[in-house]
Amino acid sequence: MVEPINLNKARKVRAKAAAKAKADQNRALFGLPKMQTLSARLEAERARRALEQKKRDD
C-alpha cells in the first residue's frame, strides 16, 4: 500500500525551493555589500588617476 502524501508539506517544500532560487538570483544581482562596492569604485578611480598622471604629452 502507498503512503499518503501530506499536501501541506509538499507545498511548503515547493515554496522553500522557489524562495531559495529567488535568493540565489538576488545574490547574483545584488551580491556585494555597499562598502565593498564603494571600495572597488574608489580603487578603480585611484588607479585611473595614477594612469592619467603617468601619461606623456607628445
Burial readout 39-52 (b: 16 or more C-beta within 10 A, e: otherwise): eeeeeeeeeeeeee
Q: Domain extents for the chain?
A: 7-54
The whole-number pLDDT of residue 1 equals: 76
**0.75 cut: is pTM over it?**
no
Summarize pLDDT for 5-51 with one digit per residue, the tens.
899 999 999 999 999 999 998 887 788 788 888 898 999 999 999 99
The whole-number pLDDT of residue 37 equals: 82
Name the residue with higher pLDDT: 23 or 57: 23
Give the whole-angstrom CA distance, residue 19 versus residue 25: 10
The whole-number pLDDT of residue 56 equals: 83
Give the whole-angstrom CA distance, residue 12 versus residue 20: 12
